[in-house]
């Protein structure tokens, strides 16, 4: 990998570890595409200034991104507007079928509207409902919502999305965002 390769931050928020593994797979795919990638949770007090591009994502809770992710995105919105940004949302709703993609994307759309960001791409991926990873109250909510149990992550779809956004994250692709 060359020193001229784009430095990309893949940052995430997760409640159960599901979105962390999605972020790590995105990071691996982008690394394979020739980028220098760091995968870190939002809680790491990240500064976007040290990166050429940002890929940010969150698992959903109550139809929204995790609070730490929303706060980081809002706090860094001005800095992010000067960089290529792609967003992704991971949620169990998509386990109910592809028609739930619009619902999952709507979670991200609300964040975009609030921050004024203009991501060049937004991904939506199914997550998991593994009851032992959720607390008692979350399990009760998931049962009322009739969330199916299981791991519904589609690794091929995640890798395909990362491969598709990769050219816009490279130094030569950066000009197409400006």
How many contiguous H segments (helices) and E segments (strands) does the chain have? Answer: 7, 8
**Domain annotation covers residue 1:** no
CATH number for the domain that contains residue 134: 3.40.50.360
What is the number of other CB atoms lying within 10 angstroms of the CB of residue 18? 24
Mean pLDDT of 17-35: 95
DSSP-derived secondary structure letter, 151: E
Give the mean pLDDT of 26-52: 93
The two tokens of residue 157 are: 């779809």
Q: Domain for residue 63, yes or no? A: yes
Q: Tokens 């979350």, residue?
A: 138
Cα distance between residue 91 and residue 96, in whole Å? 10
Residue 154 lies in domain: 7-174
- Is residue 2 a part of any domain in this protein? no
- pLDDT surpasses 90 at 63: no
Summarize pLDDT for 151-162 with one digit per residue, the tens: 888 999 999 999
- Does 135 reside within a domain? yes
Query: Looking at residue 146, what is its pLDDT?
Result: 76
Q: Per the domain annotation, does 59 fall within a domain?
A: yes
Q: Where are the alpha helices (DSSP H) in the chain?
A: 18-32, 67-75, 77-80, 101-115, 136-144, 155-169, 171-174
108 in Cβ contact with 122 (< 8 Å): yes
Instruction: Tally the domains of the chain.
Output: 1
Six token digits for residue 36: 């220098």
Closest CA to 91 of 69, 113, 72: 69
Q: Is residue 118 part of a domain?
A: yes
Examine residue 163 and state whether it is found in any structural domain, yes or no: yes
């Amino acid at each position: 990998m060359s020193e001229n390769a784009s430095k990309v931050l893949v940052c995430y928020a997760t409640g159960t570890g599901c979105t962390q593994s999605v972020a790590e797979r995105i990071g691996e795919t982008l690394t394979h595409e020739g980028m220098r990638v760091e995968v870190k949770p939002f809680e790491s007090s990240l500064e976007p200034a040290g990166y050429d591009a940002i890929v940010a994502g969150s698992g959903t809770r109550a139809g929204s991104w995790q609070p730490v992710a929303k706060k980081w995105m809002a706090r860094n919105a001005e800095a992010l507007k000067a960089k290529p940004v792609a967003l992704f949302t991971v949620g169990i709703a998509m386990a109910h079928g592809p028609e739930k993609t619009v619902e999952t994307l709507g979670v991200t759309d609300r964040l975009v509207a609030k921050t004024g960001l203009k991501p060049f791409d937004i991904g939506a991926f199914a997550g998991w409902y593994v009851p032992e990873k959720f607390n008692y109250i979350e399990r009760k909510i998931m049962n009322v919502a009739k969330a199916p149990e299981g791991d519904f992550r589609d690794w091929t779809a995640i890798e395909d999305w990362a491969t598709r956004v990769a050219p816009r994250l490279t130094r030569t692709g950066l000009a197409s965002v400006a």
